[in-house]
Structure 1
């Protein structure tokens, strides 16, 4: 008997691409972790180096200036994303700053923080609370400076206790029976770059739902979660990621050009058609 060949997803006898079922999940902070390539491929497109061991775990990516590291460790319980800057011991102590994010933090929200680290700081002074207040989060001070989502299932705080300070975020899910459980939490040093914390806050409070395939909505049973069926072509998914990576490469080229121009002595005229060294980010 002749064995049938496996056909790729989206294939049809007529050769036309078939839409695949997905879901638009809201609120986004309860959509589940998602595809980590949303973060890792963007870092590589921004010129970061993949320092992951050959064994494949833990994932590790390093900034071009070798000062910041983004990692994901799935061999620990619970699996955790870590972002750190500066010299660091095995336990994370001694880092210039350090941040940890639970694996259930949607990658699109975590990317608000990691994407910001690949770009020059914005010219305006960062304001972590601004995007939250603009999106109807309740911002105030009840012991700690706190912002809560409209449905109360997510929170961002700036905590100051016993002479120590940090940023702390969490998301909670409530079942139909009324029981509540912690879905994820994140802790960021008070010395973490404010523009990156602002990026995280903006992505956390973004009201737009997140796209997830069937079987990848771990908190679908939560009372707050709405999953709306949505058909999408496989080529659309690829195009959206390519657009995102193209933006990362463009930003990297612009940043490299800005650095070269800034360092050039006054009055120096560059030769025609010179491309700044390192202008092209690593392609993946």
Structure 2
């Protein structure tokens, strides 16, 4: 009888905005390998720099205890002013990846009138302040500064009591489809997965976060990033490759804590 496949205990967490930052490679590796972004590094500096093939966009990952860790900068174009987006260290990589995936899509959504609040409202977010929305658990908030006649920057923040867990910022000129990609991912009720998550979560309070531990075949875990790279690379080709199963394949065993 063949031995049972080796498994890894994976922690599936909801709400996703309290899942911790996750693995930066979920963003940086596909940008380089699937989207052709070039990278530069300095062995004496703890930072990563990635630039788009047209040199118009720069993603900087730089640990800074007093500021945002992720900064995405885009230069001005004939019909688009320069814009930026930035994300705190504990921003889940799945949310940041939604933005970079939308930015690098060869067939992008160009609907300048799309509503970044739409997915939030559809998933039970309620009015907050003058123009913002709050998550059902009242730990996440999204709002846009300014006025309808003169709209300003977008802010998304996650707090636990008086402690800010992370903040995301989008400049006033950030294309609305990119902001909407972020809020769509933020509003998604599906869990995100983490391995060895205990030390990275902003809270372990079972009244705030739900964690389901599932034994997943190790090959699925190891192949998740490759699956993502292949999927994004396939957007640039006529024929999509065969997908590698993701860690959310049917589990063998599961339990909730």
Say yes or no: TM over 0.5: yes
Summarize the alignment of residues 146-225 of structure 1 with structure 2, pairs less than 5 Å apart. 146-160=132-146, 165-173=152-160, 179-214=161-196, 215-222=198-205, 223-225=207-209
Distance, in Å, in 1 between the alignment partners of 2:133 and 2:63 is 30
Unaligned runs of 5+ residues in structure 1 are 1-13, 88-94, 174-178, 255-284
- Offset, 1:141: 6.6
Measured in 2, the distance between the counterparts of 1:122 and 1:78 equals: 30
Alignment match, 1:252: 236
Distance 1:217 1:17 in 2: 28
How far does residue 106 in structure 1 lie from its aligned partner after superposition?
A: 0.5
The residue aligned with 1:134 is 122
Residues 235-280 of structure 1: CA distance to partner in whole angstroms, max 9, x if unpaired? 10132222211121111346xxxxxxxxxxxxxxxxxxxxxxxxxx
Give me the whole-angstrom Cα distance separating, in 2, the residues matched to 1:15 and 1:57.
42
Q: 1:165, 1:76 → 2: CA distance?
A: 26
Query: How far apart are 1:64 and its partner, in Å?
Result: 1.2
CA distance in 1, matches of 2:229, 2:191: 21
Superposed, which structure 2 residues align to 1:104-119 within 5 Å? 104-119=90-105
Which secondary structure does the structure 2 equivalent of 1:136 belong to? Answer: coil
TM superposition shift of 1:47: 1.3
- Check if 1:80 corresponds to 2:69: yes
Paired with 1:197 and 1:216, the residues of 2 have a C-alpha distance of 29
Instruction: Report if aligned partners of 1:147, 1:155 keep a CA contact under 8 Å in 2.
Output: yes
Counterpart residue number, 2:253 = none
Question: Cα deviation per residue 1:127-156 (whole Å; 9 max; x = unaligned)?
Answer: 211111221222x4732x212111111111
* Counterparts of 2:190 and 2:64, CA distance in 1: 32
The partner residue of 1:29 within 9, 17, 20 is 17
Asked whether the 8 Å contact 2:128–2:134 carries over to 1, the reply is no
TM-aligned CA deviation for residue 180 of structure 1: 4.0
1:236 to 203, 220, 240: 220
1:168 aligns to what SS in structure 2?
strand
TM-score under structure 2 length normalisation: 0.80
| Conservation of the 8 A alpha-carbon contact between 1:46 and 1:251 | no
Query: How many residue pairs are counted as aligned between the two chains?
Result: 226
CA distance in 2, matches of 1:151, 1:75: 29
Contact kept? 1:154, 1:169, Cα under 8 Å? yes
Quote how far apart the aligned CAs of 1:221 are: 2.4
Contact 1:58 1:75 in 2 (8 A): no
Output the TM-score relative to the length of structure 1: 0.72
The answer as to whether partners of 1:220 and 1:226 remain within 8 angstroms in 2 is: no
CA distance in 2, matches of 1:112, 1:248: 12
Deviations 1:172-194 (A, max 9, x none): 12xxxxx4421111111010111
- Kept in 2, the 8 Å contact 1:32–1:216? The answer is no
Q: Distance in 2 between matches of 1:27 and 1:249?
A: 29
